[in-house]
Amino acid sequence: MPEPEGVIHKLYMERELPPKVAEVARVQGEDPDRTSLMIEELRDMIYEKGDCLPHRVDDDYLIKFLRARFWNVSHAYNLLVRYYAFRESSPEFYENVNPMALRSLGDDDIISISPYRDQEGRRVIFFKFGKWRPSKIPIVDLFRATMLLLEVGSLEPQSQVLGGVGIMDLEGLTLNHAWNLTPAVAQKMLALLATSMPLRTSQIHIVNQGWVFDTAFQIFKPLLTEKMRQRLFFHGSDRASLHKFIDPEALPVRYGGTKPEYPYTYWLEHLSRNEKVVEELQQLGYVSDPYEED
Q: At residue 77, does pLDDT exceed 60?
A: yes
Q: Hey, how many other C-beta atoms are within 10 angstroms of the C-beta on 282?
A: 11
Judged by DSSP in three states, 13 sits in coil
pLDDT in tens, 4-23: 666 778 889 999 999 999 99
Residues 75 and 165 in one domain: no
The predicted structure's pLDDT at residue 35 = 96
Q: Which band of pLDDT confidence, cut at 50, 70 and 90, is reported for residue 294?
A: very low
Domain that holds residue 166: 93-284
Q: What single-letter amino acid sits at 24?
A: V
Alpha-carbon gap, residue 66 to 53, rounded angstroms: 17
For residues 160 and 67, the answer to whether their CB atoms sit within 8 Å is: yes
- Give residue 291's pLDDT: 47
Which CATH number is 112's domain given?
Answer: 3.40.525.10
Q: Is residue 291 part of a domain?
A: no
Same domain, 109 and 127: yes
Torsion angle defined by CA atoms of residues 29, 32, 34 and 36, in that order, rounded to the nearest 10 degrees = 120
Residue 1: its pLDDT value, please?
Answer: 53
99, 268 contact by CB (below 8 A):
yes
Q: What percent of the chain has pLDDT over 70?
A: 96
By three-state DSSP, how is residue 274 classified?
A: coil
Own/partner long-range contacts of 138-142 (Cβ < 8 Å, ≥24 apart):
139/180, 139/185, 140/92, 140/93, 141/102, 141/104, 141/105, 142/105, 142/110, 142/111
Q: What is the pLDDT of residue 105?
A: 83
Averaged pLDDT, 57-86? 97
Quick one: CA torsion of 194, 198, 203, 205, rounded to 10 degrees?
Answer: -70
Average per-residue pLDDT in the chain?
A: 91
Torsion of CA 9, 14, 18, 23, to 10 degrees: 120
Q: What is the mean pLDDT of residues 245-254?
A: 95
Q: Which of 64, 89, 114 is the last residue of a domain?
A: 89
Which residues 6+ apart lie within 8 Å of 79 measured at CB?
65, 68, 69, 196, 198
With 0-12 / 13-18 / 19 or more C-beta atoms within 10 angstroms meaning exposed / middle / buried, residue 181 is buried
pLDDT at 206 exceeding the cut of 90? yes
Q: Is residue 253 part of a domain?
A: yes
Crossing angle of helices 73-89 and 35-49, in 10° steps, is 50
137-173 pLDDT, tens digit per residue, is 999 999 999 999 999 999 999 999 999 999 999 999 8
Per-residue pLDDT of 275-287, as tens digits, reads 999 999 999 999 9
Tell me which of 38, 56, 89 is where a domain ends: 89
Which CATH number is 45's domain given? 1.10.8.20
Q: Give the pLDDT score at 48.
A: 97
Distance CA 27, CA 50 (A): 31
* For residue 93, pLDDT beyond 50: yes
Q: In total, how many domains does the chain have? A: 2
The string of pLDDT tens digits covering residues 43-67 is 999 999 999 999 999 999 999 999 9
